[in-house]
Structure 1
Amino acid sequence: MFCRVRNNHKIYVPFSKSVTQKTTSNENSLQYCANIVRQHDYENYLATLLMTKALRSPTFVIRAFNAEVARVQDQTTDPQTAAMRLQFWNDAVNSIYQNKHLSNIPANPITQELYKVCLSYKLQRRYIERLISSRSSLLKTKYFKTMEDLEKYTENTVSTIYYLILGIAGVTNVHADHAASHLGKAQGIANILRSVHVSNYHKSILLPMDILMKNKISQESVLRGNDNENMRNVIFEVASRANSHLEKARSIDVPKITNQIFLPAIAVDKYLTKLQNANFNVFDKRLLYGSPTLPLSLYYKRLLNKY
């Protein structure tokens, strides 16, 4: 099997006629992106902080873009308003890939930095657009019929992030892509489990309908937060699929540089363990709180260059 890792990593330098004149502006934009990730994607924020300098800044930009797109469905219950907001990001991506000058890109710190990252690392447009289109599709369907539908969604919304970061790192390796696919699915499924409370607030059920029906759990029961044996069986089955993907990702031999990219696996593992300790009661309020030992665990694994 061919494996190629380009070691001549490009340092992330913004496009500018005069770098020195715009250093402060660029730093402010990058800090804005990092703050968005810190506020809305904290566990990935911690993991990104531990990446090498060459990868850290562009990764924050990609994750900030994803955070803003993902938040659209949480910011409004009006489908039309949500669609308009997603259209803004679609238009911005179109501008980026039409090779327009930076001055023609929407004056938003994330879109401005995304422009520089996409051009610097020649990121594939289909991955960027996939992050938007998958959210747009979910706004229309509002639920997943099967576990396979949920896995496809997590592939498109989480695994895709890892594909983009691998592109930034210059990694072109089929094993790394395979691991990224499984890790993204594990993390995405865990995110769905963690968002049950938020989903209830929006009156939407994101647990797979086929598993709910098999265990005779109604949507109303989930919305009411009813904890019972059947509901725990649903959560056990969904969580088991996430754990299976996580174990598969960790079993794949990948280039050493990718270990830092896959550090979020630690947070996924901690949540699934916490859920198991709660006997798969997804409504247990203790699950709403992050792990106080996560920063130390991430740092330790980073020292070992493992995930």
Structure 2
Amino acid sequence: MTQSQEKGDQAAIISAQLRELDRDAYLASLVLPQQARMSVQTLFAFAAELAAVRHRISEPMPGEIRLQFWHDALDGETHGDVESNPLAKALFETIETRQLSKVPLLRMVAARRFDLYQDPMPNQNQFEGYAGEVSSIVFQYAAQICATESEEPEQFNDASGHLGVAQTYTRALYSFEHDRRRAQVFLPLNVFEAFGLKDTDIFAGTEKDKIVQALNSCAEDARAHLDKARKAMGTCPGAAKSAFALWPFVESDLTNMQKALEKGDWHAAKMSDWRKILKLIGWGLRK
């Protein structure tokens, strides 16, 4: 097998893994420049793999073991199955060729340990910090990879930060019912407390009106961050803007969620793939 064929096979594996774990990120990655696509898909697939850990376990220890694998791999400790793991291999190659710091990726792994336990998210500041470590950094690195050498990474800080928080809020809103049934609160607990709710009230689901009000408050925070992301994206260099192609998906999902909340419910449908593609095309023509 030639080196070119091996690279092509590796790219196909990563693309398929991303498509399975995070279909929105996969669709958004299709508008990336060809030279950046493999690296960015690898980063999104890594983030999605960490996010999926909590859905694959019924108790914390197996999740801790999986996260420790990634921590040790990034920290330089050798494991026999690291080289045989296609995502790990692609991630290390991306880090090397794109000259990325491992520190934010280690922080991402550490942040995902929160997912494994029942401790509630205390407040908005903690939530935004968590979102920055599990989501915003991927947009930051994606923009750096798409950008030209003359552009400074700091130019993408605001767009990456706000879009990461908006995305994390929106995904937490969509997973609220699932998380509630598992006695987990990923959205800021102090928002619920402002409406007279305790975590036990959330798990019981009996104070529906108050829960809807709290969720609507979280959705408004998400909208504020999404609007700030859009404004910040407008000042980013053209070459880097495709790194934020998830924006129209987050915006549409958040709009659907807010419409559901207006009707007193927190169950909202997501768009079909063909509608997402149309949204992506429209966003691409406007950006």
TM-score, normalization: structure 2?
0.89
Number of paired residues?
A: 281
- CA pair 168-158 structure 1, distance change in 2 beyond 3 A: same
Q: Deviations over 1:54-74 (max 9, x none)?
A: 111111111111111111111
Corresponding residue SS for 1:28? helix
CA distance change for structure 1 residues 303 and 143 in 2, over 3 Å: closer, same or farther? Answer: same
- The structure-2 alpha-carbon separation of the partners of 1:31 and 1:201, relative to structure 1 and needing over 3 Å to count, comes to farther
CA contact (8 A) 2:118 2:183 kept: no
Q: 1:211 to 1:192 in 2, by over 3 A?
A: same
State the distance in 2 between where 1:290 and 1:220 align: 32
CA contact (8 A) 2:170 2:250 kept: yes
Q: Which secondary structure state, in structure 2, belongs to the residue aligned with residue 73 of structure 1?
A: helix
Residues 50-199 of structure 1 mapped to structure 2, 5 A cutoff: 50-95=31-76, 105-140=82-117, 142-170=119-147, 171-199=151-179
Residues 92, 106 of structure 1: 8 Å contact kept: no
Cα gap change, 1:107/1:173 in structure 2, threshold over 3 Å: closer, same or farther? Answer: closer
Counterpart of 1:297? 279
- Classify the secondary structure of the residue corresponding to 2:25: helix
Identity %: 22
- Aligned-residue RMSD, C-alpha: 2.4
5+ residue gaps, structure 1, are 1-19
Task: State the distance in 1 between where 2:242 and 2:262 align.
Answer: 30
Given that 1:33 and 1:60 are in contact with CA atoms closer than 8 Å, whether structure 2 keeps it comes out as yes
Cα deviation for residue 173 of structure 1 reads: 4.2
Look up the match of 2:222: 242
Structure-2 separation of matches of 1:167 and 1:232: 38
The one-letter amino acid of 1:268's match is V
Q: Structure 1 150/24 Cα, relative in aligned 2: closer, same or farther at 3 Å?
A: same
The whole-number CA distance in structure 2 between the counterparts of 1:201 and 1:229 is 18
- Code of the residue aligned with 1:233 in structure 2: it is Q
Change (3 A) 1:216 1:298: same
Partners of 2:119 and 2:69 in 1: CA distance: 21
Give the AA of the match of 1:112: K
Q: Which runs of 5+ in 2 are unaligned?
A: none
Q: Any idea what the Cα deviations from partners look like across 1:83-107, whole Å, max 9, x if unmatched?
A: 0110111122123xx8x8xx98431
Shift of 1:169: 2.4
Q: CA deviation at 1:271?
A: 1.3
Higher mean alpha-carbon deviation, 37-46 vs 132-141, is at 132-141
Deviation of 1:141 (Å): 6.3
Contact 2:18 2:48 in 1 (8 A): yes
Tell me what 1:13 maps to: none
Assess, with a 3 A threshold, how the Cα gap between structure 1 residues 84 and 173 changes in structure 2: closer, same or farther: closer
Give the match for residue 208 of structure 2: 228
Name the CA shift for 1:282/1:152 in 2 (closer, same or farther; >3 Å): farther
Could you tell me how far 1:138 is from its partner in structure 2?
A: 4.2
Q: Amino acid of the residue matched to residue 126 of structure 1?
A: V
Q: Which residue does the alignment assign to 2:23?
A: 42
* Partners of 1:144 and 1:209 within 8 A in 2: yes
* Amino acid aligned to 1:89: W
Q: For residue 65 of structure 1, what is the amino acid of its counterpart?
A: F
| CA deviation after TM superposition for structure 1 residue 303, in Å | 2.9
SS in 1 for 2:2: helix
- Report the residue type matching 1:64 in the other structure: A
What do residues 96-132 of structure 1 show as CA deviations (whole Å, max 9, x unaligned)?
xx8x8xx984310101111111110111111211210
- In the TM superposition, residue 140 of structure 1 has moved relative to its aligned partner by 4.8
